[in-house]
Amino acid sequence: MPRFITELKRTHSCGELTRTDVGNEVVLFGWVNNRRDHGGAVFIDLRDRAGVTQVVFEHGVRPDVHDLAGQLRLEYCVGIRGKVVSRGENANPRLATGEIEVHATDLEIFNRCEPTPFLVEDKIDTSEEKRLQYRYLDLRRAPLQKTLMTRAKVNHLTRNYFTDSNFLELETPFMGKYTPGGARNFLVPSRLNAGKFYALAESPQLYKQLYMVAGFDRYFQIVRCFRDEDLRLDRQPEFTQIDVEMSFVEQNDVFEVIEGLIVKLWKEVLGVEIPRPFLRMPFDESMAKYGNDKPDLRFDLPHVVLTDVVAQHGGGGVPLLKQAIEAKGIVKGLRVPASASFSRTEIDKLEEFVKGMGAKGLARAKVAEGGEWTQSPFAKTITAELRQAINQAMGAKPGDLLLFQFGKEAVVHTVMANLRVHLAKRMGLIPEYGSGGQWRFLWVVDPPLFEYDEESKTWAAAHHAFTRPRDQDLQYLETDPGRVYCWRYDLVLNGFEIGGGSIRLHDPVVQARVFKAMGISDEEARSKFGFLLDALKMGAPPHGGIALGMDRLVMLLTGAESLRDVVAWPKTQKGTDLMTGAPGDVDAKQLRDLHVKSTVEPGK
RNA sequence: GGGGUGUUAGUUAAGCUGGUUAUAACGCCGGCCUGUCACGCCGGAGGACAGGGGUUCGAGUCCCCUACACCCCGCCA
């Protein structure tokens, strides 16, 4: 028998043989996806990343090969040689290669396989814990193989798109200087510099701006970023950004380039035409109507801000509302149409849901024929005037359910934003996972430059300190910082933030005023960002850019339920790698070399 | 730091108001079978019920704590 690999080279993948190959001799390599042993004939579904082909071993053809085939088990890695034969009447329409099969004349078992911890099949039937522990087996499954192939395609298309548009792919350091603010950094102790630490880059932000100063006026990079923050369904501690920066541009120029990329990706990957230009919405409108800056626009269910209405009526006889107004809180309502018909029990469940997010409760009212409220804690005390005003503001109709939140602005927004999405899923307006075939792209634009930090009683940069304020707002920089809006933008798709960026502040004079408004002294600014401030004084061009969350893009493109399904080797919610056991212990000598001493007691 | 869901053969699940030997399917092992494709048939092995503590005559089942996984709040400029 000739040797596989050295003498018998692979001629085809397991996904490409068709009728036209009938009669040809082929060599296939792959894994045993399934076996059906009939004694005199053994059927094997042979799988590689391209697909599955049925291979038949018949006793009458080659008794020795047939005997060996009898040893085959799931996930054995094998090579076969044989002849392509039409299956005629026995064709399997569920298989892409179902019209043919290969009658094997040679077989080599490259490697046997112990019983796997779970069956390698398309529709997985095991815990995510097991999948992550044996990730290389999980990755053998066709859905994940397709996802990673899509990911590779997105990489490829992105590189071509930017390269064709005269962008340069330039790299930036992962190990840099720790800069305060923003995401928590992973730290790397320096062996050569006792007591000093590198920080892993949370993004290439500063370096890409310095590329602009250096004159590389169109930059992009598909780059890994590191953030030591708690994980979520759409957040991993290391993730990939499509990072872009351009000189001599305004916001519209950035949108133009990015929309072009998105349209291309959706067309090439999904065959879907995305209309341009994308919708735009001011940040304040998004907060008011949806409670966050990443609204899912596949459904309506808007919030109604009732703060002013309630204030005008002095709380309308409801003590809780009065207190909320007096404490400078806000009041929001959400109208659930009568058609949704939530039962009392279901509404109580909604209340549990919102309490888990910091809500004190879930005030509700069912609207009766005459506009009266029933099943409501407010029904008895609220004045008819306020009730009517709220009904009118919310467009309430008989049978509708009105839900309310009031109190601290941030909590009300968060609770109502999550409630809105939760309701939409319960009402079947959007699926639990996936796009449902709807792609609602949105630019959220024009946010405030600062947000007030209750703890430190200071104005902090809502994003980063190098975002360009709107020219017409510069007059308020010293007197009323909350009125200063800026050239910042987020790209949102179906409730996910898939990108964000800004036009940068390249004017050193304005930069100094921004730092001052933030209560940052010149010395402090110098010590933290001196290199960038110097650079801005040396002919820095006007510039701006954006970073797209590459993993999230792929997650949405593939309909994956979580970022973990589009990252080949992801971490668990506690940031561990269940396959390798990282993070792990290191020995005392390593720590000594790094001038590091752990504060954790041994055994803890 | 907080709220929620879960953890029973290799895997997925069943196991009721606590009761004697903890079931099933797939996988695995042995045997039979030449047209299966969720192949079929016969036989077999395989379990510290996540860990610890408690209640009880008796705990997979009830209570408490811990660990791990997942979802969310905080956090993520």
Radius of gyration of chain A (CA): 30
**Mean pLDDT lowest among A418-422, A449-453, A454-458:** A454-458
Q: Is the pLDDT of residue A392 over 60?
A: yes
409-448 on A, CB < 7 Å from strand B: 410, 414, 418
Beta bridge partners of A492: A442, A497
Q: Classify domain A299-426 by CATH architecture.
A: 2-Layer Sandwich (3.30)
pLDDT exceeds cutoff 80 at A391: yes
**What average pLDDT does this structure show over A383-393?**
96
What local confidence, expressed as pLDDT, does residue A235 receive? 96
How confident is the model at residue A603, as a pLDDT? Answer: 52
The pLDDT confidence band at residue A101, using thresholds 50, 70 and 90, is: very high
**CA of A342 and C1' of B75: distance in angstroms?**
33
Please name the residue ranges forming H helices in A122-215: 128-133, 135-138, 142-164, 205-213
pLDDT, chain A, mean: 94
Q: Does ipTM come in above 0.85? A: yes
**Distance (Å, rounded) from C-alpha A479 to C-alpha A469?**
15
Q: Which of A530, A532, A472, A476 is nearest to A504 (CA)?
A: A532
pLDDT, tens only, A208-217? 999 999 999 9
Question: Smallest CA–C1' separation from A41: which nucleotide?
Answer: B34
Indicate the pLDDT class of residue A602, thresholds 50, 70 and 90. Answer: low
Q: Report residue A270 CA to chain centroid gap.
A: 18
Which CATH number is A3-111's, of 3.50.50.60, 3.40.50.2300, 2.40.50.140, 2.40.10.10? 2.40.50.140
The boundaries of every CATH 2.40.50.140 domain in chain A are 3-111
Please name the helix (run of DSSP H) or strand (run of DSSP E) that holds residue A545, with its range, or none. Answer: strand A543-549
Token representation of residue A325: 């107004």
Hits for CB < 7 Å against strand B across A residues 559-598: 562, 564, 572-574, 576, 578
Please tell me whether any atom of strand B lies within 7 Å of the Cβ of A74.
yes
pLDDT in tens, A45-92: 999 999 999 999 999 999 999 999 999 999 999 999 999 999 999 999
- Reported as a single tens digit per residue, the pLDDT across A232-260 is 999 999 999 999 999 999 999 999 999 99
Query: Which nucleotide is closest to A63, CA to C1'?
Result: B34
The predicted model gives A495-511 an average pLDDT of 95
Nearest-angstrom CA–CA distance, A83 and A88: 15
**Percent residues over pLDDT 70 in chain A:** 99
Q: What is the pLDDT of residues A397-432, one digit of tens each?
A: 999 999 999 999 999 999 999 999 999 998 999 998
The gap from C-alpha A90 to its chain's centroid, in whole angstroms, comes to: 44
**What CA–CA distance (Å, rounded) separates A362 from A320?**
12
Query: Cis peptide before A583, with omega less than 30 degrees from 0?
Result: yes
What residues does CATH 3.30.1360.30 cover in chain A?
A: 299-426
Note the pLDDT of residue A476: 94
Look up the protein residue whose alpha carbon has the minimum distance to the C1' of B28.
A115
Residue A340 or A257, more confident: A257
Q: What is the DSSP string of A421-478?
A: HHHHHHTTSS-SSS-TT---EEEEE--BSEEEETTTTEEEESS-TTBPBPGGGGGGTT
Mean pLDDT of the A120-131 span: 88
**pLDDT: which is higher, A445 or A523:** A445
Q: Which of residues 168-197 of A touch strand B (CB under 7 A)?
A: 181-184
Strand B proximal to A603 Cβ, under 7 A: no
The continuous run of DSSP H or E covering A253 comes out as helix A251-265
**Chain B: nucleotides under 7 Å from a protein CB?**
1-4, 10-13, 26-29, 32-40, 68-77
Averaged over A211-238, what is the pLDDT? Answer: 97
> Quick one: CA torsion of A540, A548, A295, A281, rounded to 10 degrees?
40
Confidence at residue A40, expressed as pLDDT on a 0 to 100 scale: 93
Contact A197, A594 (CB under 8 A): no
Nearest 5°: the CA angle A26, A28, A31 is 160
Q: Is the pLDDT confidence value at A287 over 70?
A: yes
Question: Is 80 exceeded by the pLDDT of residue A328?
Answer: yes
Report whether pLDDT(A601) > 80. no
Residue A31: predicted pLDDT:
97
| Digit-coded pLDDT (tens) for A557-576 | 999 999 999 999 999 999 99
